Amino acid sequence: MRRTAGQGPASAMGAGFPSLLCFFTPMSSENDLYTLAAAAVQRNASRRAFLQGSAGLGLAGLVPWAHGQGTEAPQRGGSLTLLVFPEPPTLTTIAHTAGSSVLVTGKVTEGLLTYDFDLNPRPQLATAWSASADGLQYTFKLRQGVQWHDGKPFTAADVAHSLNLVKEFHPRGRATLAALSEVQTPDAHTVVLRLSKPVPYLLSALAASETPIVPKHLYSHGKADANPANNAPVGTGPFLFKEWVRGSHIIYERNPAYWDEGKPYIDRLIVRFIPDAAARSAAIESGEVHLAPSSPVSLGDVERLRAKPNLVLDTKGYQYINTIYRTEFNLETPALQDLRVRQAIAHSIQRDHLLKVAWYGQGKLIPGPVSDTLKKYYVPNLPVLPYDVKKAEKLLDDAGLARGKAGGNLRLKLRATPIPNEGGQRTAEFLRQSLSRIGIELQINAQDFATYIKRIYHDRDFDLHISAMSNTFDPTVGIQRLYWSKNFKRGLPFSNGSGYHNPEVDRLLEAAAIETNEAKRVQLITEFQRLIIRDLPDINLVAPDTYTIADRRVRNHTVGGDGPAGNLASVWLAKA
């Protein structure tokens, strides 16, 4: 099926505004943007101190933003081919968090902010922002002169409408913006967010991939998750959507009137979908594909491609989105409601062999729901159940699942649904072998991505779910959604798929979501992790290495914490 966009972008230039806490002066190019002393406040002081501000901040605190790969002058023109796998279910993340959708949405729809490699905020559609001392009000000044790709003006009304849609429809936004009580628009270029409770991570949650700003005139009617514009997007970004041919490609073309004058540098961005892993490797190696993010090739091909002189492997640019593979239990399955059965499954997994065999050693074992990427919240010494087949057998006996109960020598038959990629499939195969040792037969269901989402979150037709979930930039945003009972909603993707409900876990998560004292917040999230390890609604397994493979001619594909998921306005192709 082909979807085609309309025409008619208009010219735009940015303008700067003073802020109570931050002062940004947008220049003619993203290369001229600054980070400032507020960033140092964030790195060196608590989140509370940042929100309360500092009278000493001023222009003397400005430091230059260092871009990319060398100091070469960008060359204009050409087409860049971006590999995305699997094919995204939708092209806009207003109501979705699929990883492949995250990779494409920011090319057309933008966010209020973008982020450097330390996740310090930088301007995008907002040029300045401030927070009240109590953390209950945020004010954003918006970039002036910006127009939507269909020619209509971008205003504060678009931002207000988008934030309310994210709060209602976005899997993570339901938690992120739960405390958003009102969005005020005192003028066309000012937005005021009023909160019922503090949201200490709010300034980190406003990237294009996480909280996209969409045009109100196209999203005023119907449900956001079913809007046709999700698949034929109209945005303010550097690229204009032209067509999506399902199963083949997306074409984006340069926005000649983009607000960041002179950008983007390339004329056309082609997004290719290549379902076969060997074909993906061949396309990258031959130069047919120029940029391939999110570890797109078979694990067995990584070292071979790393040695190719025409390719570069880069691990930067995944600070904003990071991934943990986990086995999630469907707690509506009668046998899995018994903790002893879940514990037996955990005891059957030889985790170090899983990493070595299923993942070629390319990753880290993770004891709990928090990745070590979120260093201050990571608890390395959680009491993970060790590999112990005899203990697993006894637990199953105690649970009344004797050998032969399910026929032959079997105790139980379960269905596993892995995310449809190599990591999910290889993990599922490893688990099938592991569970067979303790008398559990695991049937693996394979399907395309859309069917996978429907099976897990709508039909709930699974027992074990091998999922890949992002911690994102903060536990409340990336992790709460997976365990918060209020986020168990049929049809809501990438949410509490297990149906887990523990009032104490809810309390800890909700308290952490509003706690502005960082030490107390760390303690709340630590206590939450210990309860998850005890209750075992899932088994967190591996944080895989994530990398981008790029042709050596590609410059500036990764200029901040969102890496190739950013807008690619700065990317350019050197002559061969």
Paired sense of beta strands 79-83 and 268-272, if any: parallel
Asked if 447 and 468 count as a contact pair (C-beta separation under 8 A), the reply is: no
- As assigned by CATH, the class of the 323-544 domain is alpha beta
Amino acid at 323: T
Separation CA 365–CA 325 (nearest Å): 10
pLDDT of residue 119: 85
Separation CA 21–CA 384 (nearest Å): 43
pLDDT of residue 493: 85
CA-closest candidate to residue 553, choices 264, 309, 253: 309
Separation CA 417–CA 95 (nearest Å): 23
Indicate the helix (H) or strand (E) that contains 308.
none
Amino acid at 452: Y
Name the CATH topology of 2-234+553-573: Dipeptide-binding Protein; domain 1 (3.90.76)
Tell me how many degrees the CA angle 218-222-226 measures, rounded to the nearest 5: 85
Strand order in the sheet with 79-83: 2-4, 239-245, 249-254, 268-272, 79-83, 291-292, 548-551, 311-314
Q: Which two tokens stand for residue 144?
A: 């002036």
pLDDT of residue 163: 98
Count how many Cα atoms sit within 13 Å of the Cα of residue 170 in the half-sphere of its side chain. 30
CA-closest candidate to residue 24, choices 63, 51, 55, 56: 63
Q: CATH topology of 2-234+553-573 equal to that of 323-544?
A: no
Q: Which two tokens stand for residue 212?
A: 């996209």
Q: Is 29 exposed, middle or buried (0-12, 13-18, 19+ CB in 10 A)?
A: middle
- Taken in order 491, 493, 499, 504, is the CA torsion positive or negative? negative
pLDDT of residue 452: 95
Helix, strand or coil, per DSSP, at residue 63: strand
Q: Which two tokens stand for residue 447?
A: 């399907």
Tell me how many degrees the CA angle 202-208-211 measures, rounded to the nearest 5: 45
Indicate the helix (H) or strand (E) that contains 460.
none
Whole-angstrom CA distances from 184 to 153, 180, 189, 197, 369 are 18, 11, 11, 17, 36
Question: Domain ranges in the chain?
Answer: 2-234+553-573, 323-544
Separation CA 74–CA 71 (nearest Å): 9
Q: Which two tokens stand for residue 94?
A: 């207003």
Question: Residue 208: how many CB atoms within 10 A of its CB?
Answer: 29
Indicate the helix (H) or strand (E) that contains 363.
strand 363-365
Question: Residue 409: how many CB atoms within 10 A of its CB?
Answer: 10
Helix, strand or coil, per DSSP, at residue 186: strand
Tens of pLDDT along the chain (576 residues)?
A: 444 443 333 322 232 322 333 333 332 222 222 222 233 223 333 333 333 332 222 222 222 233 344 578 999 999 999 999 989 999 999 999 888 999 999 999 999 999 998 889 999 999 999 999 999 999 999 999 999 999 999 999 999 999 999 999 998 888 789 899 999 999 999 999 999 999 999 999 999 999 999 999 999 999 999 999 999 999 999 999 999 999 999 999 999 999 999 999 999 999 999 999 999 999 999 999 999 999 999 999 999 999 999 999 998 998 887 899 999 999 999 999 999 999 999 999 999 999 999 999 999 999 999 998 888 899 999 999 999 999 999 999 999 999 999 999 999 999 999 999 889 999 999 999 999 999 999 999 999 988 999 999 999 999 999 999 988 889 998 899 999 999 898 888 889 999 999 999 999 999 998 898 889 999 999 999 999 999 999 999 999 999 999 999 999 999 999 999 999 999 999 986
